[in-house]
Structure 1
Amino acid sequence: MIWIRKGQAPASLARAQFAERFRASFMDPAFRAEDSSIDRLEAIAWAAFSEGRKAPSTHQAGKGYADPDYQLSDEWVATKERLDAAQLQWADPATPSRVLLVCGSARNDGTCPGEISKSFRLVETAREVLEPLGMQTDLLDLSLLTSEYGLNIHPCKGCLSTAMPLCHWPCSCYPNHALNQTSDWMAEIYERWTSAHAVLIVTPVYWYQSPSPLKLMIDRMVCADGGNPDPTTTAGKNAAKAKALEMAGWSYPQHLAGRAYGVLVHGDVAGIEGARRSLCDWLDWMGFIDAGVMARLDRYIGYYEPYANSHEALDRDEDLHEETRNVARAVAKAVVELRAGRLQTAQPHLKRPRPK
């Protein structure tokens, strides 16, 4: 028996509340000359919100989908096509080896802190090693969330906890135009992860945890591990259909399995080991292959010293710079072995008795 539990969602916004939130983006006095235009835009946005026009541009799914007549979002289809192309490129042995460098810090000198992050400096150290070794590098600097206009990673809505098939690959929760949940960076980020033969994450610790931009990305990557590549099987977000699919037996496809990884976590007083372990556990779970013990590093920079001279502490720590280079060297070596087919053969092919 499929039982969909209800009762948590609040009442929908009243028109006055909606208007107040909509107009919050136009508080600058320079907009006052366009108040009548803003009134008209608010009326259009209210209609989209009231009618729930999540995906205003759709077309029939067509061949290759369980329900070819289902109306799929044009934006979702475009993202899916880019991921399919990226996966083909990743699998082509003739393409260059690519390493995605993820800078997990929220800090950069283009926003309130006024100074670059130590994570960025360590990423640059890794890049200086990787490129001469023949690796193409792609820097995913998550601090852009704090410094670029209109760039978002919206939070995961937890679809998989209703049923795994409700979590689509790529994520179909966004954009949601009815709720103004747009400019979602993850559509691009999924493609960059798919293109990579290895991922190297460099991050600080914020309050014993990953920084919020990194955690937002991690949560939204859940669709890469078990996500449903065909939203027509669940009629979009039909919870009952998704539960029925899961109960019938779900395969939990690992869409990014077989890529290598390295992790470098740094901090100032506490939390680095736990953060490093959780990141490695997450990547292991998704089917990534660790690049060896030298590619999993946690270190303190300026232990219990003031924040103000932390960059100087990093300047002095030549051993950490060399350890960072070793992380990069280990990742590069893993990529070479992986693409040659030697690293996969060292991994046992065991079936999980309890897949999830």
Structure 2
Amino acid sequence: MARITVRKGMPSVQLDKAQFAERLKQRFQDPAFEPLQAEIGKIVDAAWDVYDDSRKAPYTRPAGSGYADPAYELSVEWLAQRDAIHEAERRQKSPSSKSRILLIDGSPRSDQTCPGEMSKSFRLMEIAEEVIAREPDFEVERLDLNRLTSEFGRHIHPCKACVSTAMPLCHWPCSCYPNHSLGQTNDWMGEIYPMWAAAHGVMIVTPVHWYQAPTVLKAMIDRLVCADGGNPDPTSTSGKDPEKAKEIEMKGWDFPRHLAGRVFSVVVHGDSAGTENLRRSLSDWLGDMGLIGAGHAAEIDRYIGYYEPYAESHQALDADRAFQEETRNAARALVAAVKLMRSGRLPKPDSGLPDPRPK
């Protein structure tokens, strides 16, 4: 096998201490911090030490048995995420557990911050939740992505595209974050991965923004790449060693689909253009991860107040009783599909077929 080289040559992004201090101090611009300049200076010095030494994970422990390199020091934060996912998967597979639906609001709009008004996606989520809540032995977990724009300290950090170097370099769950040396902390995905793992069904309700998914939804989608082929053993690549990852992939990688078998529903709405494209894109993405569509009624795209004033959009939704009922049907179809899936009666005609192009 020919040696695969790692390509280098991009310009350095390393800051000197003055640049680092200037950026960090931007977080303390309020007059309330003026009497605390000495203390802030000490914080800057400590943070510079972490940054200059590239201490990504301040607390680690040996991986232990079950890993390619039991002595490799793994981040305790990553290990906690892994344990949370394993517990979620255990509940999801337990025949005695309630059926769980993960409802995802893909809109960044919130009445708790700048827009000053709730989103229509939030209202449609409420409609869907009412349907599911009436089902015996079902429970709902909500993921309101608008918290990224309205809640202090909520972040979904960008995907660093480890997959494009080699699939085994992308770990399940993602090990790129938190990165304490770069201040990339409070990564919400550590909580979101177990939400997906625990779900039997997933329903996404979202607007379309410029023909595409809203920023908050796309951020989550990109970071879920590790669920589709991700490496559950970071020690096999000594953390983020690209050469080791390339070598593993070239020997053959099975691209494990960690969320396969769950069922999904998608509801997309807009006001002038792009709903069909986004609905198809989301359905394709979920299908590529091995999730199963809950049927025609479960995948819908509609316009609310088509080319009408934005200011009247909630009134337009009030009047659109048909769309409200279609949203209920999307939830009903998802519930029915979960029941079939859990009883082993959901058809999977392609189950067991070998994939000639795994990726």
RMSD over aligned Cα, in angstroms? 0.8
Q: CA deviation at 1:133?
A: 1.7
Change (3 A) 1:344 1:40: farther
Q: CA deviation at 1:29?
A: 1.2
1:336 to 335, 339, 351: 339
Report the Cα distance in structure 2 between the residues aligned to 1:254 and 1:68, rounded to whole angstroms. Answer: 24
Report the Cα distance in structure 1 between the residues aligned to 2:201 and 2:343, rounded to whole angstroms. Answer: 14
Instruction: Tell me which residue corresponds to 2:45.
Output: 43
Report the Cα distance in structure 1 between the residues aligned to 2:40 and 2:218, rounded to whole angstroms. Answer: 35
Report the Cα distance in structure 2 between the residues aligned to 1:127 and 1:347, rounded to whole angstroms. Answer: 31
Instruction: Tell me which residue corresponds to 1:61.
Output: 63
**Aligned with 1:5: secondary structure?**
coil
Indicate the larger mover: 5-14 or 345-354: 345-354
Instruction: Tell me which residue corresponds to 1:52.
Output: 54
Report the Cα distance in structure 2 between the residues aligned to 1:260 and 1:238, rounded to whole angstroms. Answer: 35
Report the Cα distance in structure 1 between the residues aligned to 2:197 and 2:283, rounded to whole angstroms. Answer: 18
Instruction: Tell me which residue corresponds to 1:111.
Output: 113
Instruction: Tell me which residue corresponds to 2:34.
Output: 32
Runs of 4+ in structure 1 displaced over 6 angstroms? none
Q: CA deviation at 1:346?
A: 4.8
One-letter code of the match for 1:64?
G
Instruction: Tell me which residue corresponds to 1:6.
Output: 8
Report the Cα distance in structure 1 between the residues aligned to 2:285 and 2:107, rounded to whole angstroms. Answer: 18
Q: Can you list the C-alpha shifts for 1:263-303, whole angstroms capped at 9, x where unaligned?
A: 00000000000000000000000000100011000000000
Instruction: Tell me which residue corresponds to 2:214.
Output: 211
Instruction: Tell me which residue corresponds to 1:23.
Output: 25
User: Any stretches of 5+ residues in structure 2 without a counterpart?
Assistant: none
Matched ranges for 1:1-356 at <5 A: 1-134=3-136, 135-356=138-359
**Aligned with 2:326: secondary structure?**
helix
Report the Cα distance in structure 2 between the residues aligned to 1:279 and 1:10, rounded to whole angstroms. Answer: 36
Report the Cα distance in structure 1 between the residues aligned to 2:322 and 2:130, rounded to whole angstroms. Answer: 16
Q: Can you list the C-alpha shifts for 1:75-122, whole angstroms capped at 9, x where unaligned?
A: 000000010111011000100000000000000100100000000100
**Aligned with 1:294: secondary structure?**
helix
One-letter code of the match for 1:80?
R
Report the Cα distance in structure 2 between the residues aligned to 1:8 and 1:203, rounded to whole angstroms. Answer: 37
Report the Cα distance in structure 1 between the residues aligned to 2:233 and 2:13, rounded to whole angstroms. Answer: 31
Report the Cα distance in structure 2 between the residues aligned to 1:253 and 1:344, rounded to whole angstroms. Answer: 21
Report the Cα distance in structure 2 between the residues aligned to 1:9 and 1:71, rounded to whole angstroms. Answer: 30
Indicate the larger mover: 260-269 or 9-18: 9-18
Report the Cα distance in structure 2 between the residues aligned to 1:170 and 1:94, rounded to whole angstroms. Answer: 26
**Aligned with 1:342: secondary structure?**
coil
Report the Cα distance in structure 2 between the residues aligned to 1:215 and 1:144, rounded to whole angstroms. Answer: 14
Report the Cα distance in structure 1 between the residues aligned to 2:183 and 2:46, rounded to whole angstroms. Answer: 12
Q: Can you list the C-alpha shifts for 1:197-233, whole angstroms capped at 9, x where unaligned?
A: 0000000001111000000000000000000000000
Report the Cα distance in structure 2 between the residues aligned to 1:44 and 1:234, rounded to whole angstroms. Answer: 30
Indicate the larger mover: 126-135 or 15-24: 126-135
TM-score, normalization by structure 2: 0.98
Report the Cα distance in structure 1 between the residues aligned to 2:280 and 2:165, rounded to whole angstroms. Answer: 27
Report the Cα distance in structure 1 between the residues aligned to 2:263 and 2:74, rounded to whole angstroms. Answer: 33
Report the Cα distance in structure 1 between the residues aligned to 2:278 and 2:10, rounded to whole angstroms. Answer: 32
TM-score, normalization by structure 1: 0.99
Q: CA deviation at 1:131?
A: 1.2
Report the Cα distance in structure 2 between the residues aligned to 1:299 and 1:309, rounded to whole angstroms. Answer: 17
Q: Can you list the C-alpha shifts for 1:220-277, whole angstroms capped at 9, x where unaligned?
A: 0000000000000000000000000000000100001010000000000000000000
Q: Can you list the C-alpha shifts for 1:165-204, whole angstroms capped at 9, x where unaligned?
A: 0000000000000000000000000010100000000000
Report the Cα distance in structure 1 between the residues aligned to 2:304 and 2:349, rounded to whole angstroms. Answer: 35
Q: CA deviation at 1:344?
A: 4.7
Report the Cα distance in structure 1 between the residues aligned to 2:358 and 2:28, rounded to whole angstroms. Answer: 49
Change (3 A) 1:337 1:9: farther
Report the Cα distance in structure 2 between the residues aligned to 1:321 and 1:213, rounded to whole angstroms. Answer: 24
